Each structure stands twice: as structure tokens, then as C-alpha cells.
Amino acid sequence: MAAARGGRRRRGRGRCGLDGAARGGGPQLAARHLADAAQSNSGLQHVANAEGWTPLHLAARFSNAAVAEELLAAAAASSSLPLPLPLPLPLPLQLERGQHGVTAIHLAAEYARDDVLWLLLRQLPTKAGKDGGRPVDAGDDESGQTALHYSAKNATVSVAVVIMLLSAGADPDKVSRPVGSYEHGYSAAEIAYDLPNPVAFDALACFKLEKCLEIMDAKLAARYSKLKALSWEERAMFWNKERRKRKEAMAEEKEKESQKKVEGGGGGVVREED
């Protein structure tokens, strides 16, 4: 059987039936296929199809919460790994990547599947890891976009989806890698403004305001309180100012790195004369 990207196996026996269950079948069908997989130790819930999607990706895309719950339960049951532990340790099922690095959490956020999203998030820890990154943001896609970015791009997103992601520890200030015309990347709030997506934008602004008040940062609280009351045209001025500040900060950082290389290179660096 051919190996898939990231070490996942491609479609095999029983996979077609599990795909059908995830797309719109019942939990009984999924449970039967998963029980067969458990007996053969095939790890069917981790197997990607020809398009690179696992069954959990499909359950998230097609809002099949009952099958998503069966898949997560099967993954939890098989997570009692014997010692010594295999390295690298396997990712949680909801953080396994499909096409373009997309996770099931991305799809649930993008398509506003709040019932599935709740199932996916409730088993993730909310505290930051050693690197400061939060588990819900650990599955950013190949362009550096998190599930919060995806929710901000969905014009039909509900406030519940945005708040669930933020409550799970999603970072509203996380900036993607350069994407299209955004040469310095963008945050979820920025893309929510640009679309425009008032529901996502106002939910993010309110969240920021509450967090500012929690830490008693009057300056930031006033900033976001004012922002929520602005018209879309006035908000554009705000975000353009933010982008300019980020661009200047990145240019300054790049200049510092270049200067360090010059200083560390000694006589090997040749400077051009004007």
C-alpha cells in the first residue's frame, strides 16, 4: 500500500465505508468499521483518502457530529501506547493535517460546524506549551493560518464558533505568513475587516476589549472600545496604520539581522560604494 504524505496510509479496505459514514452516514456504521479496524490494528481513523482527508476531516466538513464523536473515541481508546513510546509522538486526531496542512478544526471553523467544533476542542488543553504556542493554534496550515483565521473568512460564521476558538486559547493576534497581497501576513481581525465580516470582527474586538479590561490595560481597552464603534471606513484607517507599524517593525528587525551578519563577517563583506 502506498505511503501518504506525513506517514499516513492511503485508502484501504474499509476506508470507503468509513468515508461514507463520515460524509453523511450514522454512528453505527462508523462504529462497525472502527471496531473491525481495532481488531486488525489498522488505525483506520488515521488513514487519509486519495484527496488527503482523514475520516475526521470529512465529518467536520459535512457536520457529522455523531461520527466525529465515534472517531475521537476510537482514537482515545488506541492512544494507550505501550512503552517505550514511539517517536515522534503522534498528533491528536483533530490536529492531523490534510490538504495544504488543513486540520479538522480548520474545516469545522471554516464551515461553521459549531457542534463538531465543540467536540474537537473539548479534548485539547488550553494552556500554552513550552514554546508559548497554544494547542488550538498548533495545527496552522501551510500558510500559517489558524482555525481562527478560517472562521474570520466565513461570511456565515456564528459568534459561537469564534468564541469557542478564543476560549480554547486561539491567539487573536497571530499573524499568518505572507498570503497573496498581504506581504506581511494578516491577523484574524484584519481579514474579518477586509472581507468584510462584521460578526467575526465584532466578536474579536469584544474579546480583545474584555481581555484588556482583565489585565487593566486602560490604553488597550480604550483602543478596542473605540475600534468597535468605528465605521468600516474608519476601521480601514486603523488597520492600515497597524499594518504600517508591523511592516516597519519587520523591516527594523531585518536590518538588525543584516547588521549582525555584517559585524560577524569581518573582512569578508564587501560594501558597494555610492
Residue 127 pLDDT = 65
User: In the predicted model, what is the mean pLDDT of residues 202-218?
Assistant: 74
- Give the three cell numbers for residue 107: 474545516
- Residues 147-152: what's their mean pLDDT? 94
Q: Residue 64: what residue type?
A: N
Dihedral angle at the C-alpha atoms of 124, 91, 140, 18, nearest 10 degrees?
Answer: -90
**Predicted local confidence at residue 260, as pLDDT:** 84
Cα 128 from Cα 133, distance rounded (Å)? 5
Could you tell me if residue 156 is left (phi over 0), alpha (psi between -120 and 50 degrees) or otherwise beta?
A: alpha
- The arithmetic mean of pLDDT across residues 77-94, rounded, is 59
The pLDDT, as a whole number, for residue 21 is 64
Q: How confident is the model at residue 22 (pLDDT cuts 50, 70, 90)?
A: low
Q: How far apart are CA 244 and CA 233, in angstroms?
A: 17
Which of 201-205, 212-216, 256-260 shows the lowest per-residue confidence on average (mean pLDDT)?
212-216
- What average pLDDT is seen over the chain? 74
7-76 against 95-125+138-257: fold identical = yes
Please state, in angstroms and rounded to a whole number, the distance separating the CA atoms of residues 147 and 161: 10
Q: Outline where 181-231 has alpha helix (H).
A: 188-194, 198-214, 218-228
Q: What is the DSSP letter of 132?
A: S
Q: At what angle do helices 159-167 and 114-122 cross, to 10 degrees?
A: 10
* Architecture of the domain whose range is 95-125+138-257: Alpha Horseshoe (1.25)
For the ranges 113-117, 173-177, 202-206, 234-238, the lowest mean pLDDT is seen at 234-238
To the question of pTM greater than 0.75 for the whole model, the response is: no
Confidence of residue 202 (pLDDT cuts 50, 70, 90): confident
Integer Cα distance of 247 and 225 in angstroms: 24
The answer on pLDDT for 126 being more than 50 is: yes
Looking at residue 165, its pLDDT comes to: 92
pLDDT of 108: 93
Among candidates 41, 44, 42, which has minimal Cα distance to 29? 44
Give 7-76's CATH code, choosing from 1.10.10, 1.25.40, 1.10.150, 2.40.128: 1.25.40
How sure is the predictor about 142, in pLDDT bands with cuts at 50, 70 and 90?
very high
Hey, which of 105-114, 118-127, 226-235, 256-265 has the most confident mean pLDDT?
105-114
Dump pLDDT digits (tens) for 26-43: 566 666 655 555 444 456
Q: Are 240 and 182 in contact (CB under 8 A)?
A: no
CA gap 134, 120 in Å, rounded: 15
- Per-residue pLDDT, 102: 94
Find out whether 15 and 50 touch, Cβ atoms under 8 Å: no
Distance, CA of 192 to CA of 187 (rounded, Å): 9
CA-CA-CA-CA dihedral for 113, 116, 119, 122, to nearest 10: -20
Higher pLDDT, 43 or 167: 167
CA 117 to chain centre: 12
Nine cell digits for residue 146:
489558524
Q: What is the mean pLDDT of residues 242-269?
A: 75
Name the residue with higher pLDDT: 85 or 262: 262
Confidence of residue 146 (pLDDT cuts 50, 70, 90): very high
Domain range summary for the chain, segments of one domain joined by + = 7-76, 95-125+138-257
Q: What is the mean pLDDT of residues 171-178?
A: 89
d(CA 162, CA 145): 15
pLDDT attached to residue 150: 94
Percent of the chain with pLDDT over 70: 61
Q: How many CB atoms lie within 10 A of CB 68?
A: 30
Who wins on pLDDT, 268 or 219? 219
pLDDT at 8 over 50: no
**DSSP letters of 64-115?**
-HHHHHHHHHHHHHTT-PPSSPPSSPPPPGGG---GGG--HHHHHHHTT-HH
- What type of residue is 184? H
